[in-house]
Chains A and B, each alone.
Chain A
Amino acid sequence: MATRYLIIGNGAAGLSCAEAIRRRDRSGAIATLSEEAHGFYSRPGLAYYLTGTIPEKQLFCRSEREVRALGIHRMHGRATEISPSRHTVAIASGGQIAYDCLLLAPGALAVRPKAPGIELQGVVTLDSLNDARQILRLARHARRAVVVGGGITALELAEGLTAQGVETHYFLRRDRYWSGVLDSDESRLVEDRLEEEGIRIHRHTELSTVLGRRGRVCGVQTDRGLRIDCQILAVAVGIRPRLELARSAGLATGRGIVVDEMMRTSDPDIFAAGDAAEVLDPATGSSTLDSLWWVALSQGRTAGENMAGGQARVDRGVPFNVTRLGGMTTTILGTVGQPRKDDDLVAIARGDSNTWRESGDGLTIEDDRAQSRLRLLIGPREIVGAVIMGDQSLSRILQILIREAADITPIREQLLAHPERCGELLTLFWNTWNGGRHGAQP
């Protein structure tokens, strides 16, 4: 009898899992269960949908024909409970779905700050396409919006609302943006760009109360007593993995659903991947929780291969993300953390990795140029992290050098003495190192 695979979730992890299963098992029955009625779309692309850079239909990166070709049976509904002993999943509309092998990829949801009035209509988060649609609908009639939070999503909201012609105010609880990952110059560079776009930044400002009229947001009050009238309050203070289903099944959970390197949970027939999965590293005993697109793809692929009988192990690589911060393409690689807490976030943010916050042992070198900035964290023998803003020409090289922990001893002293020459030094080193690497291959 054909194996019955069930995938809960409509994100990157779920889709890559389905594709991986189909590559190994041509006859298995693959079903997906999602709370979203529409097909698979690019979640990071929502930022560009909000700014009007692309229309909604562009977000869908697999056609119905392609999904059909994979032989995936798509179901719309909400799972309420898992029974591992009976191998069934209960759905809210009634009924049960039987499975032989299950993937949990429910993702994570935005955390709402505890403030009076936070439940009012007009308080928005950006988790899904439906959220983006709601924001655009509200923006049509809104004059002013307030954004609170940190990380990438807060900027996506602020820039999206501004692009829609809404006067946008951005609250920072302390003196600068994303202080757990960016250094003060990087924060300032982003904040300058935001202000150029017309976003009004309020530093040392905390949301105290959401004011409402007839169930809708009509303003906010800050901790310092300032009142700003607004029709939208957008919050991005972090995300929390969705654990309710895993808990209903009695699976091991911590910050996320605990999985091993094969993406297997504490139940041998249940796997987990994506924003909800917390991967244990057997070598160190530590665990990581990432909210990164390529990590979700990689975890989904690993889970899919193993669900179909493989023995794949997830490749963590170096946590990295590429994003736009204040209109500047920015790559964050490896360990770049700042030795201070980010008060704008209460949990991990979307497009975020815990690893970035680990403070590097290394020395920092900086190379500032007009509209670009490069920060390298240099360890005793290798580069351990980098933040590349603007010009991305060194991005690919650094990604590989950091991932491979390349021994940079030949240029280390020069890099530290002449940070302004780091582009030239890294390119020369790369040519030699990469040539040697390929030369060594059979």
Chain B
Amino acid sequence: MLRDLFQRETKRREALAVAQVVPEPIRCVQCGICTYNCPIAIDVRRHAMTGSPVLDSHCLTCGECIARCPRGVLRFEAAPGLRPQARA
């Protein structure tokens, strides 16, 4: 069980290191569903309005905003310059 927890945390951190939430502003109607559903209250809508990736270091990359957005504004994209290290 402990190992499961550890692996989950490792996976989360890997995702955090390699991906970020990226908006496509032209699809956004500023409804705020993303911000409302962010578990740590990042104002994702502001990023969607301005077109800037969610680079907040607190972002869990949980994908809640991506899943909830009714207009497909948000997506995960590899963070530039950061790639997962190949495993031996």
**Complex contacts, A48 vs chain B, CB 8 Å:** 31, 33, 70
> Complex formed: what's the CA distance from A323 to B30 in Å?
13
Q: Check A45 against B72 for contact (C-beta < 8 Å).
A: no
Q: Pick the contact of B29 from A45, A392, A395 — CB < 8 Å?
A: A45
How far, in angstroms, from A54 to B69 measured CA to CA in the complex?
Answer: 12
Q: Is A331 an interface residue (CB 8 A)?
A: yes
| CB of A19, distance to nearest CB on chain B (Å) | 11
Q: Shortest CB–CB separation between residue A302 and chain B, in angstroms?
A: 15
Nearest opposing residue in chain A for B46, CB measure: A61
B20 proximal to A (CB < 8 A): no
Query: Is A365 located at the chain interface by the 8 A CB criterion?
Result: no
A329 and B26 within 8 A (CB): no
Q: Chain A CB within 10 Å — which of B24, B45, B49, B72 has the most? A: B72
Contacts of A45 in B (CB 8 A): 29-33
Contact call A331/B72, Cβ cutoff below 8 A: yes
Residue A27 interfacial (CB < 8 Å): no
For B29, list chain A residues within 8 Å (CB): 42-45, 293
User: A59 with B24: in contact, given A48-B70, A324-B70, A329-B71 (CB under 8 Å)?
Assistant: no
* Number of A-B residue pairs at CB separation under 8 A: 51
Give the secondary structure class of A's interface: mixed
Distance A42 CA – B31 CA, assembled complex (angstroms)? 6
Chain A residues with Cβ below 8 Å from B26 are 294, 399
User: How far is it, in angstroms, between the C-alpha of A158 and the C-alpha of B81 when the chains are bound?
Assistant: 47
List of A residues within 8 angstroms of B72 by Cβ? 322, 329, 331, 392, 395
User: When chains A and B are docked, how far (Å) is the Cα of A45 from the Cα of B35?
Assistant: 13
Q: Which of B24, B31, B49, B73 contacts A54 (CB 8 A)?
A: B31
The verdict on B76 contacting chain A, using a C-beta distance below 8 Å, is no
| Residues of the B chain whose Cβ atoms lie less than 8 Å from the Cβ of A53 | 33
A328, closest chain B residue (CB): B70
- Say yes or no for B27: interface residue by CB 8 A criterion: yes
Do B30 and A61 touch across chains, with their CB atoms under 8 A apart? Answer: yes
Distance (whole angstroms) from the CB of B44 to the closest CB of chain A = 12
Residue of A nearest to B26 (CB): A294
Contact across chains for B35 and A58 when beta carbons are under 8 A apart: yes
Are A42 and B32 interface neighbours, CB within 8 A? yes
Partner of B31, one of A44, A294, A399: A44
- The smallest beta-carbon distance between A106 and chain B, in angstroms, is 20
**A65 within 8 Å of B by Cβ?**
no
Task: Tell me, rounded to whole Å, the shortest Cβ–Cβ distance linking A377 to chain B.
Answer: 20
Q: Which residue of A lies closest to B68 (CB)?
A: A53
Contact code string A388-400 (vs B, CB < 8 Å = 1, else 0): 0000100110010
Known pairs A61-B49, A324-B70, A331-B27 / 8 extra A-B pairs, C-beta < 8 Å: A42-B30, A44-B31, A58-B31, A58-B35, A58-B36, A61-B45, A324-B71, A329-B70
Contacts from A to B (Cβ < 8 Å)? 42-45, 48, 53-55, 58-59, 61, 293-294, 322-324, 329, 331, 392, 395-396, 399
